[in-house]
C-alpha cells in the first residue's frame, strides 16, 4: 500500500467483528513499534498487548462509565494495546527539562502512529483512546504505581459493512504556514 493510501485509509474504528487477531500480525505490530524514533533514542514506552478475553473485557470496561459512555464500543475489540510511559534516558530528561518539553509524550505518539498505520496495512483497524481509568488499568495489568498509562488502542477487524468516513480536518492554510506563522 502506498503511504498516501495508508494514511487516508486509517481511521478510528468503533465497531469490531469477533474475529481473533492472528499472532503473526500482533508480532508485526510490536516490530513496527520497535522501529519508532524517539528523543535520544530513549524508547520510553512499554507496550502491553491484552488478548486474554476476560482480562481484555475488564480493561475495556475501564475506558468508560455510566456517565461518560462514548468508549463503550471498546468491549467489542478483541485486542487492546496499552502504551505505558517508561523512564526516559537521562539525556532526554535533561534535554526535556532545559527545553521545557515532555519528549516521551511525542515519542509515544509516534510509536502509537507506527502501531496504527502498520495495523491498517495488515487489514486491521484501531482507535486510540485517551479517556480511561488510569488507576483501574494500572491495577488490572500490574503496572508499577510510578508508571503511567499513556494510551489505550483498540485492535481488531472492522465489520465488512463499515464505511470509510470523509476526513474532517482544518483547512491546510490554518495548519501550515510557509516561511512564517
Ligand X SMILES: Cc1cc2nc3c(=O)[nH]c(=O)nc-3n(C[C@H](O)[C@H](O)[C@H](O)COP(=O)(O)O)c2cc1C
In the complex, the residues that contact ligand X under the rule CB under 6 A are 11-12, 14, 70-71, 127-131, 167
Query: From residue 178, how far is each of 28, 169, 170, 171, 172 by CA, in Å?
Result: 37, 19, 16, 14, 11
Closest to ligand X by CB, 66 vs 167, is: 167
12 versus 97: smaller Cβ distance to ligand X? 12
Read off the C-alpha cell for 162: 463499515
Taking the C-alpha atoms of residue 135 and residue 43, their distance in angstroms, rounded to an integer, is 23
In whole angstroms, how close is the CB of 152 to ligand X at the nearest point?
8
CB of 102 to ligand X, least distance (A): 14
The minimum distance between CB 132 and ligand X, in angstroms, equals 7
Nearest residue to ligand X by CB is: 130
Residue 47 host element (H or E): strand 45-50
Least Å distance, CB 174 to ligand X, is 16
Q: How far, in Å, are 39, 40, 84, 106, 146 from residue 101 at the CA level?
A: 11, 13, 18, 9, 20
Measured from the CB atom, the residue of 15 and 89 that comes closer to ligand X is 15
Give residue for cell 499472532: 23
Select 52 or 70, whichever has its Cβ closest to ligand X. 70
Amino acid at each position: 500500500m502506498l503511504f498516501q493510501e495508508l494514511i487516508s485509509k486509517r481511521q478510528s474504528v468503533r465497531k469490531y467483528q469477533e474475529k481473533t487477531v492472528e499472532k503473526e500480525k500482533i508480532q508485526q505490530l510490536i516490530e513496527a513499534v520497535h522501529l519508532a524514533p524517539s528523543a535520544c533514542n530513549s524508547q520510553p514506552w512499554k507496550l502491553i498487548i491484552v488478548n486474554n478475553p476476560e482480562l481484555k473485557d475488564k480493561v475495556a470496561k475501564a475506558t468508560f462509565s455510566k456517565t461518560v459512555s462514548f468508549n463503550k464500543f471498546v468491549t467489542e475489540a478483541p485486542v487492546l494495546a496499552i502504551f505505558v510511559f517508561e523512564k526516559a534516558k537521562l539525556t532526554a530528561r535533561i534535554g526535556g527539562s532545559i527545553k521545557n518539553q515532555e519528549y516521551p509524550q511525542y515519542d509515544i505518539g509516534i510509536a502509537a502512529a507506527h502501531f496504527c498505520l502498520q495495523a491498517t496495512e495488515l487489514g486491521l483497524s484501531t482507535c486510540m483512546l485517551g479517556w480511561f481509568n488510569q488507576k483501574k488499568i494500572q491495577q488490572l495489568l500490574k503496572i508499577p504505581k510510578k508508571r503511567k498509562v499513556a494510551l489505550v488502542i483498540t485492535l481488531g477487524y472492522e465489520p465488512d459493512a463499515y464505511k470509510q468516513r470523509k476526513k474532517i480536518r482544518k483547512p491546510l492554510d490554518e495548519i501550515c504556514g510557509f516561511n512564517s506563522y
